Structure 1
Amino acid sequence: MSHKPIVMVSSYPPRLCGIATFCEEAREFIQKANPHREVLVISHTDGRGEGVFPLIDTTKRDWWRPVARKIEQLKPYAVHVEHEYGLYEYHDPRGVGDGNDGFLDLLEAIGHLPIVVEPHTVHGRLRDFEADFIYKLTQRSHVVLFKCHYQKWRLDWTFHGRNWPTPRNIMVVPHGARSDKRWGVHEIPALRREFGLDTIGLSDHVVGMIGWIQSNKRWDILLSMWEDIHAEIKARTGQEWDLLAAGAMRDPHHKRDYEEWKSDVQMLAGKGLAHYHEFIPRGDDYYKMMAICDFIVLPSTDETQSGTLARIIALNKPYITTAPMEGLTAQTLESQGGLLFTTKKMLRSQVIKLATDENLRLKLGENLKRYLENEVCWEVVAQQYNKAYQLARKAVRTGQPVVLEMEF
């Protein structure tokens, strides 16, 4: 039996980056699904850890050359690449980007090895650059992994409109979610104590907005209505519900919104209606903070798929999110585990509906449990990755491209 390693190419912790966190978690479960192989990572220069090679330096035009050399040395079973445009962009002295040309050069340099690429941003309506890039990406990879089915059938529509052939080497593998991060009701008081939330008067019932505080997350939408919503819920049920806004700023470009929204929460806190908790949303703390909440509101206005939603699903937490919004809407429809809104009025209605109907919360939670266990848990996703690796290896061995079924 061959024990060649699986080599991942990605950003990696301690970088505070969604793709880095994703890669760390994916690597854990790929390793469990392949106990006789090493799963190694070639990362950017700030990556750290056992089996991590920090070689990607995009301040250099030919950053991909040492990466290609290292991959050759490792003699991989398969190369699994996590892609996000910003991760591999070289900027010249004028600040002009190379349009990810270096990334495509890397794929060409290792094209004789089995290549699986997992792009994390594939919008339903592609810009010209994105469409061209995805075409070139699929030509230089043996298998390309999309997160959602809509991405695949929309690509077919987009390419037909340009009189381009639709790539047939695209496989849909959903964003993985952990199945080992669920807490029982009896365990929640201990989690509250762990974060000091037992001493600040947090109500028994909690609506959560949890995660990295970014402009596209639009916490302000719910914050602007929460006082009115709180009063309506209390009038209908007699129950006190708190809004828990917890997270931290990752990107200094979002500082203005971060400061404004934090101030808004603190104003509500002064009225006894909400609480703000600053923490780095990574690791167990991210899951524990969500576990404290009865349900989560994710009012994002720009997303193709979401690590935040993956954690919500992992915890089987009912949720409310924006629609139509790429992967957020797709996974909500597929899981039947959340409610959607498209206007402020509708968000208000959905929050009140979920807060006043415990049976609905239980039903949505059970739907998420089934969806997690049958469709998106990492144990299932890792086996789909293994299938992708096998397809890529067969393509290299036979010289025949991978041809997969169309969606529609």
Structure 2
Amino acid sequence: MTPSRRIALIGNSLPRRCGIATFTTDLHRAISNSGQHPQASIVAMTDRNQAHDYPASVVLQVEDDNLQDYARVATALNAGRFDVVCLQHEFGIFGGDAGAYILELLTRLSMPVVTTLHTVLAKPSAIQRMVTEHVAEASAKVVVMAEKGRELLHGVYRVPQDKIEVIAHGIPDFPLVASDAAKARLGFSGRSVILTFGLLSPSKGIEVMIDAVPAILKRRPDAVYVVLGATHPNLVRNEGEAYREKLMARVRELGVENHVVFLDQFVDQATLLEFISMCDVYVTPYLNEAQMTSGTLAYSFGLGKPVVSTPYWHARELLAEGRGVLVPFGDAARIGTEIADLLTDDRRRQAMCERAYAASRPMTWQRTAERYMTIFEHARQGHRLKLIAQTAPAVIAPLCPAPPPPDMRLEHFLSMCDDTGLFQHAVHSVPDRAHGYCVDDNARALLLACALNGAGETSMPDGLTARFAAFVQHAWNPDTGRFRNFMGFNRTWLEPSGSEDSHGRTLWALGECTRSDASPSRRRWARALFAQALPAAAGFRSPRASAFTLLGLDGYCMAAPDDHRAQDVRRALAGQLLSILASVETPDWPWFEDGLAYDNARLPQALIVTGLATQTPVHIDAGLRSLRWLMTQQTAPAGHFRPVGTGGFGELRKPPHAFDQQPLEAAATIAACLAADRADKDAGWKTAATGAFSWFLGNNDLSVALADPETGCCRDGLHFDRANENCGGESVVSYLLALAEIRQLARADVNPPHPVALRAVVA
């Protein structure tokens, strides 16, 4: 494999003061100095209202609370043609709830991502779980620094075992030396030195160690406890030096001022190694078990220092088998006893030094960099193979079999209707009169009424269907030859004519009504109004308006086969869509436009149904080709359906955004896949359709059900961190239309049509 040459590390960076900054800087240095000589750069997360004098290795910065900055940097990384991105993940260094803003960057990257998780929680909140699962899903490999991390990732977050790598925290390659020379240089000659270093914060348990000092002095009167490190910047920002002052007050209260030294400084690596070299015992009295990684522990262990520590996860693994001493959380008496025992037993202390030093040799930064470089190459190779696979003519199927479809329940849909028609919006499940009505949603409601006329369904109340038809009729403006779209709650039209898309969608509803409405009189009405409104389609510039009209012509031409003008329009619009596709399509972008927007699957669906009806293979082939590609864009790495998110609308030739996801896209995809199944049997289209439907029921990025099968209610979509709790008209109709198609599919699978009948449908 050709080595990765351009590597971007995303994380905090020195001179910002924190453990992640130190780790990122050390890893960058180690990778840059590795035998393969890659070009490694850092993308630094910059905390709010702060400025840092970054070195030249930092090529980009992200303001942690600026969501747009994440998108900007993703674009820059893609343009820079980096081979791989290595993300240092810690919830607190990114913006948004539980650091969710980082997802905006990850979902836009075109290269593989290797993520190092510095924290893995055993009991995450809902948002922490969601963010962790999404980060893992977006990553080719996930690195943790302890076996406990592997256990939690697989058991709690469902990350596959083969995606997880355990690489110990790197350490400097420093010789095992006696402490006397360093003590002399630092002014601690003749003292037994106990050391803690790192940024001060209450979770570090320094107060517990201070309480242990009097007991240690009884057995080693020369002992001194050195606390090296500045107070954590976030703590200083919020409450100043109150925590440090509290610790110093406790020292005075115990009368051990001559035996506890606070060094309020953030030291460089060379100075830090000097301090570690001079200590006789290193102590980490942390208070929280859920500490997956401790750089201070790794460094001290790597220099062969005897360590006394509480049993947080990292320490429990690193110090096992006599490589250190573990004591209970918050137990000052036990900490004092164990440290005093080590300070008074030179032979035991020296043996522990040698065991720790020998065990730490695989942890040097050189060895760590070699492990990372190997993982980068596997990730890059796997990413290339994945891209090749995605260009193959196959439909990506969901991982889990689909459950039986729910019953058709119309309670919420009926609550969204009044004597005028279907309301546009809702506040939660309550209709929102402030936004009135639109012909788009009432046309969709008319389509639903037609869909419920299928075998096995309970038809919509006829009076309600008539209400939607009346809304469409009232929307027709003979003066403009177009349908109006938006109507206020006071039944006043807000425009003389609507958009091309709303006109095309209304033609679609009328065409379907012409074919399948239960009322012969209403079928005649729909046929007449369709014929009046069709001429406007000749001037359409919107590909979606043309697609909607073609879907309407599929129903209309079946019911009115003698209308040659309509057949001419159908040929013209289908040819127009083909021309649009031909003018934009490239091998890696077989699509009708330079970007992905809304109702995407209706474009290939229109070509497929038109090709089937007119027996035109070129239309079918173009529809199937573009739909196959769209399905690769709408499939998450884990295999579940992920509709094109609204956040990417307007971007040119970019992978779709993950959010916000809308029911409209799922409904369109289901219909398109079932149309494709009629043209291309045994290609997985049915499975793809049922996978898209499962998105409504919780098989999605947030594992949150959008639809309530008991009421037929459907939320308006998925944000990156939650569902949209409003349940508007478009959403409920999208869900019910999708449900009607899936129920029809389930019935057909139980009672498959006779081959002769099937050929008649295809023809």
Coarse TM-score class (shorter-chain normalised): 0.7 to 0.9
State the shift of 1:220 in Å.
Answer: 1.0
| 2:360 corresponds to 1:372 | yes
1:143 match: 141
| Counterpart residue identity of residue 319, structure 1 | V
Partner residue of 2:313 out of 303, 307, 326: 326
State the shift of 1:291 in Å.
Answer: 1.8
**Change beyond 3 A, Cα 1:68–1:352:** same
1:84 match: 90
Partner residue of 1:154 out of 152, 155, 171: 152
Say whether the 8 Å CA contact 1:212–1:281 is kept in structure 2.
no
The 3-state SS of whatever aligns with 1:109 is coil
Task: Work out the CA distance in 1 between the residues paired with 2:385 and 2:99.
Answer: 29
1:245 match: 227
**Change beyond 3 A, Cα 1:288–1:264:** farther
After TM superposition, the structure 1 stretch with the greater mean CA deviation from structure 2, 148-157 or 278-287, is: 278-287
| 2:114 corresponds to 1:116 | yes
Which runs of structure 2 are paired with 1:122-271 in the superposition (5 Å)? Answer: 122-159=120-157, 166=160, 168-180=162-174, 183-185=177-179, 187-192=181-186, 197=187, 203-231=190-218, 233-234=219-220, 240-250=222-232, 251-252=235-236, 253=238, 255-265=241-251
**Change beyond 3 A, Cα 1:266–1:27:** farther
| Counterpart residue identity of residue 276, structure 1 | F
Which runs of structure 2 are paired with 1:36-55 in the superposition (5 Å)? Answer: 36-45=37-46, 46=51, 48-55=54-61
The 3-state SS of whatever aligns with 1:54 is strand
State the shift of 1:67 in Å.
Answer: 0.9
Say whether the 8 Å CA contact 1:124–1:150 is kept in structure 2.
no
The C-alpha deviation readout for 1:141-163, integer Å capped at 9, x for no partner, is 1111111111112333324xxxx
Q: TM (normalized to structure 1)?
A: 0.84
Partner residue of 1:317 out of 305, 309, 317: 305
After TM superposition, the structure 1 stretch with the greater mean CA deviation from structure 2, 265-274 or 241-250, is: 265-274
The 3-state SS of whatever aligns with 1:348 is helix
| 2:106 corresponds to 1:107 | yes
Say whether the 8 Å CA contact 2:63–2:69 is kept in structure 1.
yes
1:22 match: 23
**Change beyond 3 A, Cα 1:186–1:40:** same
State the shift of 1:41 in Å.
Answer: 1.0
Task: Work out the CA distance in 2 between the residues paired with 1:165 and 1:296.
Answer: 35
Task: Work out the CA distance in 2 between the residues paired with 1:279 and 1:266.
Answer: 21
Q: Which protein shows a greater Rg? A: 2
Say whether the 8 Å CA contact 2:301–2:307 is kept in structure 1.
no
Task: Work out the CA distance in 2 between the residues paired with 1:21 and 1:37.
Answer: 20
Q: TM (normalized to structure 2)?
A: 0.46
After TM superposition, the structure 1 stretch with the greater mean CA deviation from structure 2, 265-274 or 73-82, is: 265-274
2:651 match: none
Long gaps (5+) in structure 2: 390-636, 639-763
Task: Work out the CA distance in 1 between the residues paired with 2:382 and 2:66.
Answer: 32
After TM superposition, the structure 1 stretch with the greater mean CA deviation from structure 2, 147-156 or 46-55, is: 46-55
**Change beyond 3 A, Cα 1:227–1:3:** closer
1:405 match: none
Task: Work out the CA distance in 1 between the residues paired with 2:352 and 2:4.
Answer: 43
Task: Work out the CA distance in 2 between the residues paired with 1:127 and 1:338.
Answer: 33
Partner residue of 1:63 out of 58, 62, 69: 69
State the shift of 1:276 in Å.
Answer: 3.2
The C-alpha deviation readout for 1:270-308, integer Å capped at 9, x for no partner, is 664333333224422222122221111110113221111
State the shift of 1:2 in Å.
Answer: 6.1
Say whether the 8 Å CA contact 1:188–1:292 is kept in structure 2.
yes
**Change beyond 3 A, Cα 1:7–1:165:** closer
**Change beyond 3 A, Cα 1:285–1:266:** farther
State the shift of 1:116 in Å.
Answer: 0.6
| Counterpart residue identity of residue 257, structure 1 | Y
**Change beyond 3 A, Cα 1:268–1:344:** closer
Task: Work out the CA distance in 1 between the residues paired with 2:162 and 2:38.
Answer: 29
Task: Work out the CA distance in 2 between the residues paired with 1:2 and 1:357.
Answer: 50
| 2:284 corresponds to 1:298 | yes
The 3-state SS of whatever aligns with 1:53 is strand
| Counterpart residue identity of residue 377, structure 1 | T
State the shift of 1:189 in Å.
Answer: 4.2
The C-alpha deviation readout for 1:84-104, integer Å capped at 9, x for no partner, is 1121114xxxxxx3x433211
Partner residue of 1:277 out of 263, 271, 274: 263
**Change beyond 3 A, Cα 1:27–1:269:** farther
Task: Work out the CA distance in 1 between the residues paired with 2:369 and 2:159.
Answer: 30
Task: Work out the CA distance in 2 between the residues paired with 1:384 and 1:165.
Answer: 20
The 3-state SS of whatever aligns with 2:308 is strand
| Counterpart residue identity of residue 172, structure 1 | V
The 3-state SS of whatever aligns with 1:33 is coil
State the shift of 1:384 in Å.
Answer: 1.0
Task: Work out the CA distance in 1 between the residues paired with 2:336 and 2:168.
Answer: 30
Task: State the percentage of identical aligned residues.
Answer: 19
The 3-state SS of whatever aligns with 1:16 is coil
Task: Work out the CA distance in 1 between the residues paired with 2:301 and 2:205.
Answer: 20
The C-alpha deviation readout for 1:101-122, integer Å capped at 9, x for no partner, is 3211211111x31211112111
The C-alpha deviation readout for 1:28-59, integer Å capped at 9, x for no partner, is 11111154321111113545111312320133
Task: Work out the CA distance in 2 between the residues paired with 1:72 and 1:339.
Answer: 47
State the shift of 1:127 in Å.
Answer: 3.5
Task: Work out the CA distance in 2 between the residues paired with 1:20 and 1:272.
Answer: 33
Say whether the 8 Å CA contact 2:192–2:222 is kept in structure 1.
yes
State the shift of 1:354 in Å.
Answer: 1.1
The 3-state SS of whatever aligns with 2:156 is helix
**Change beyond 3 A, Cα 1:185–1:78:** same
Task: Work out the CA distance in 2 between the residues paired with 1:262 and 1:287.
Answer: 25
**Change beyond 3 A, Cα 1:60–1:211:** closer
Higher share in strand: 1
Which runs of structure 2 are paired with 1:384-399 in the superposition (5 Å)? Answer: 384-399=371-386
**Change beyond 3 A, Cα 1:139–1:277:** closer
| 2:345 corresponds to 1:346 | no
Task: Work out the CA distance in 1 between the residues paired with 2:87 and 2:38.
Answer: 17
Task: Work out the CA distance in 1 between the residues paired with 2:64 and 2:197.
Answer: 32
